[in-house]
Every structure is written in structure tokens, then in C-alpha cells.
């Protein structure tokens, strides 16, 4: 029996079910163990004020370390750059669409929103990028699960909201008015679209069962993006982003940025090299942005959670 720990949200359960079904396809007996985290209990409080997105993973990781569960399934973008001692990323399945999407009540694009239109998001990265593109818009905090955010849009409290394409796909949600945002311009969060499957480093049977779920290209992209995050030492309170792709020739390209909270300053950089050097590419791109003043543009803090 492999026990999979996950949050109770519909999206988290959908991600855990993907992992569970893949393991069952290999003949494993699997149980999903839904868990309520501190981040869920503080659903109305700004994450920046209470410790970042690490609040969504900490208790699940503690249960994994205590062997109350055998596997933890998270969104990779929720994980800090450094995992707790004793845990490892046992599998990173094939990445879903990493892009952000703009959902509106009628406008066809970000550019078509009326001046002063209200856009909902609690992501510092999304807020900065929306304001960088349209400083005339009003960005307001928006927390809650996908259904809650969609209801906020439908109620008229917001004119638009920004969500992850992967989350909508995994939930089978197809809103009417959607603009897919270009990942080279509206750069996704580190690890966006990737399911992270954690296990204990010394649990050989579980690691062996999870090995078949790992996607090579997804892993090297994650290595580059997370190395960028780790070098900057930034928390989810700092607007930053990194998105990697790999060509058929195994050349990895990485686009990254650091922004001020208000979007008035955005530093961008791009690097590429052999996929086998993914982590080095990520660190080098972080160094490039630091040399260009990233620490002054966005105050960088010790990592306490993932990035958004």
C-alpha cells in the first residue's frame, strides 16, 4: 500500500489522482490521504503576511517524514528551493501547460480591458506583470480555490482574473472568455504546470515505484528554474519568474525575470545551453540579473515557500 498525502482542494486531489492512477497502472495499491494545511486554514489572510506558500506543504511534508504517508503530491511551484532533509523529488511527471491565462467577463485580451478595470490575483508575480503591461489597471487580492475565484469573476467583483492554464485543464474547466498569455512575455512561475511527487530518500521500494512516473525533460526544466530560484534566495513575496524549454537537440533555453511589486521595474534575461547543464544555466541567469540590480528592484528574502 502506497499512501499519498495531498491537500483537500479539488485541484490538489485531481493532481494526486493523476499520480495514484499512474501507480495503479503499474499494479500498486494506492490510498489518497487528504490533509488540511495551515495555508488552507488561513484562506482569507495574505500569504505574504503569514509565511508564504510553504504553509501549503509544511504539514504534509512533516507527515511524510514521520511515515504517516509514503508520498506527498504538491504543485512544484509551491515548494521551496530547498527541501527538508530526508525528502527528495522522486518523480516529476510530464509537465502540463505552464502558461497563465487571463479570464474576463467579455474583454478579449489584457490590452482590451477598460482603463481602471479590476484584475484579481494574490500572486506578486502576476500582479507585477499585469501592472507592467497595463499600469492603468487596478489589481486586487484574490485567494481561494479555482471555483471561488471563478465565482468572484462572475459576480462582477472583478473584471478579470489570472489563473494557471494547468489548473483549469486538470479540473476540466473551460471558461468562455480566456486569453492565453505568452510565456516569453508573461513569464510563468518557477515550476508552474509541474506536479511534484516527494518521497523519503531512504524509502527504496516507493522510490522504485515512482521512478517510472518521472519525465526527463520536465526534470531538467525544473532543475534550471529551481536553480534560478535558489541562487536568488527569494521568497514568494518577491515577484520573480523563470520558464525553461528543451529542444529536440537537448538545448535548454531559460527565460527569467525579477520585478518590483508595482511592475514599474522589470529586469529580464535569457540564457541557453546543454540540458545536462540545467542547474548551471539557472544559476548563471540569476547572477546576470543580480549584476543588473535585481536585489534593488525586488528585495530578496530567505526562501520560506514557493513562487507564484
How many C-beta atoms lie closer than 10 Å to residue 112's C-beta? Answer: 12
Q: What pLDDT, on the 0 to 100 scale, is given for residue 3?
A: 98
Q: Which pLDDT belongs to residue 302?
A: 54
**Is there a domain that residue 222 lies in?**
no
Condensed to tens digits (0 to 9), the pLDDT of residues 36-95 reads 876 554 454 444 444 445 567 889 999 999 999 999 999 999 998 899 999 999 999 999
Range of the domain at 116: 100-180
216-260 pLDDT, tens digit per residue, is 999 999 999 999 999 997 655 689 999 999 998 899 999 999 999
Domain CATH code at residue 147? 3.40.190.10
Mean pLDDT of 127-155: 94
Residue 78 bears catalytic tag: yes
Tell me the pLDDT of the chain averaged across its residues. Answer: 91
In a domain, 219, yes or no: no
In a domain, 50, yes or no: no
Task: Specify if 217 maps to a domain.
Answer: no
Alpha carbons 57 and 73: distance in angstroms, whole number: 9
Q: What is the pLDDT of residues 95-135, one digit of tens each?
A: 999 999 999 999 999 999 999 999 999 899 999 999 999 99
Three-state DSSP class for residue 79:
coil
Sheet arrangement for strand 251-259 = 240-246, 251-259, 266-274
Query: Long-range contact list for 215-219, CB < 8 A, 24+ apart?
Result: 215/92, 215/93, 215/94, 215/95, 217/94, 217/95, 217/246, 217/275, 218/92, 218/93, 218/94, 218/95, 218/194, 219/89, 219/92
Q: What is the pLDDT of residue 91?
A: 98
| CB contact set of 138 (below 8 Å; sequence gap of 6+) | 116, 117, 118, 119
- The CB density around residue 227, as the number of other CB atoms within 10 Å, is 24
Domain count for the chain, please give it: 1
Beta-carbon contacts of residue 295 (< 8 Å; ≥ 6 apart)? none
pLDDT digits (tens, 9 = 90+) for 107-116: 999 999 999 9
Q: Is residue 286 part of a domain?
A: no
Q: Is residue 241 part of a domain?
A: no
What pLDDT, on the 0 to 100 scale, is given for residue 50?
A: 41
DSSP characters for 222-240? Answer: HHHHHHHHHHHT--TTS-E
In 3D space, the residue among 171, 172, 152 whose CA is nearest the CA of residue 160 turns out to be 152
pLDDT at res. 217:
97
Tell me, yes or no, whether 283 lies in a domain: no
70, 78, 100, 159: which one is catalytic? Answer: 78
* Mean pLDDT for the stretch of residues 191-197: 98
Say how many residues make up the chain: 308
Q: In what order do the strands lie in the sheet with 30-35?
A: 30-35, 2-7, 71-75, 195-200, 87-91
| Residue at 292 is within a domain | no
**pLDDT value at position 298?**
83
> Given this model, what pLDDT does residue 301 score?
60
Instruction: Dump pLDDT digits (tens) for 252-297.
Output: 999 999 999 999 999 999 999 999 999 999 999 999 999 999 999 9
Amino acid at each position: 500500500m502506497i499512501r499519498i498525502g495531498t491537500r483537500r482542494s479539488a485541484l490538489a486531489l485531481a493532481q494526486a489522482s493523476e499520480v495514484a492512477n499512474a501507480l495503479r497502472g503499474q499494479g500498486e495499491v494506492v490510498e489518497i490521504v487528504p490533509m488540511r494545511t495551515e495555508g488552507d486554514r488561513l484562506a482569507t489572510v495574505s500569504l505574504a503576511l503569514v509565511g508564504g506558500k510553504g504553509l501549503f506543504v509544511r504539514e504534509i511534508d512533516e507527515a511524510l517524514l514521520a511515515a504517516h504517508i509514503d508520498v506527498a503530491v504538491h504543485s512544484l511551484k509551491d515548494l521551496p528551493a530547498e527541501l527538508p532533509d530526508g525528502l527528495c523529488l522522486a518523480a516529476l511527471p510530464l509537465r502540463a501547460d505552464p502558461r497563465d491565462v487571463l479570464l474576463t467577463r467579455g474583454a478579449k485580451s489584457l490590452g482590451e480591458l477598460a482603463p481602471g478595470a479590476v484584475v484579481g490575483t494574490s500572486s506578486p508575480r502576476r500582479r507585477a506583470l499585469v501592472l507592467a503591461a497595463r499600469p492603468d489597471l487596478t489589481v486586487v487580492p484574490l485567494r481561494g480555490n479555482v471555483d471561488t475565484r471563478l465565482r468572484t469573476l462572475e459576480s462582477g467583483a472583478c473584471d478579470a482574473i489570472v489563473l494557471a492554464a494547468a489548473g483549469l485543464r486538470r479540473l476540466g474547466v473551460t471558461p468562455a472568455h480566456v486569453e492565453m498569455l505568452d510565456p516569453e512575455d508573461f513569464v510563468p512561475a518557477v515550476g508552474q504546470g509541474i506536479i511534484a511527487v516527494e518521497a523519503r530518500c531512504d524509502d527504496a521500494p516507493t522510490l522504485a515505484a515512482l521512478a517510472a512516473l518521472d519525465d526527463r525533460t520536465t526534470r531538467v526544466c525544473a532543475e534550471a528554474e529551481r536553480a534560478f530560484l535558489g541562487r536568488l534566495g527569494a521568497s514568494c513575496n518577491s515577484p520573480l519568474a523563470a520558464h525553461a524549454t528543451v529542444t529536440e537537440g537537448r538545448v535548454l533555453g531559460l527565460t527569467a525575470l525579477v520585478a518590483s511589486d508595482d511592475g514599474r521595474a522589470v529586469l529580464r534575461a535569457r540564457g541557453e545551453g546543454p540540458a545536462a547543464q540545467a542547474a548551471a544555466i539557472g544559476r548563471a541567469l540569476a547572477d546576470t540579473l543580480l549584476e543588473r540590480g535585481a536585489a534593488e528592484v525586488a528585495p530578496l528574502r530567505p526562501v520560506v515557500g514557493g513562487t507564484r
